[in-house]
Amino acid sequence: MLRYLNKCSTGRGAWLLLALTAFALEMVALWFQHVMLLKPCVMCIYERCALFGVMGAGLAGAIAPKTPLRYAALVIWLYSAWEGLRLSYEHTMIQLHPSPFVTCDFAARFPSWLPLDKWLPSVFVASGDCAERVWSFLTLGMPEWLMVIFAAYLLVALLVLIAQAFKPKRQEHFSNVA
């Protein structure tokens, strides 16, 4: 399996699949926001940024999968999946154990060199309450599903990282001499 993952990491298909899954999740988030009219909270916006990180890692890996850029993409993937898991866990704890002393910010804080909320407010402006549970599926809320998703991203990223030590087997061709 690890040899197979190593082989996949040197091809564009797997990296594009990673980017496509993150893009699909971003589209679902925007559908929740603009069609179902669910207001994203600050934690939702940060989790959305982590998904964009996973998508960016997929695109970076797809650009040149046989070069060292693959390793940079893998680092971005690992970091984004870890941060997404951490953020969604924190968000889940806020929802499961609401407290007036533990709240999220009123607005997302982006660095001055990357003001995403100014550049694309329809995607990055928060207006919801982190403690409010507005949607659930199979008894799990949105941040709990994101924990599952980011844990899966992180697990696969760790397996791909480990797989980098396993070189794919060379195909040897034998010809029959009569």
Confirm whether 170 is a catalytic residue. Answer: no
d(CA 66, CA 15): 12
Of 48, 70, 86, 133, catalytic: 48
Confirm whether 44 is a catalytic residue. Answer: yes
Looking at residue 97, what DSSP letter applies?
S
d(CA 131, CA 140): 14
Closest to 77 measured CA to CA, from 17, 154, 165, 143: 154
Of 3, 8, 12, 44, catalytic: 44
3-state class (DSSP) for residue 137: strand
Confirm whether 8 is a catalytic residue. Answer: no
Question: What are the phi and psi torsion angles at 3 (to 5°)?
Answer: -65, -40
The β-bridge relationship of strands 140-141 and 136-137 is: antiparallel
Of 3, 8, 12, 41, catalytic: 41
Confirm whether 130 is a catalytic residue. Answer: yes
Burial of 112 (0-12, 13-18, 19+ CB in 10 A): exposed
d(CA 114, CA 111): 5
Confirm whether 49 is a catalytic residue. Answer: no
Of 12, 130, 133, 170, catalytic: 130
CB atoms inside a 10 Å sphere around CB 99: 9
Catalytic residue set: 41, 44, 48, 104, 130
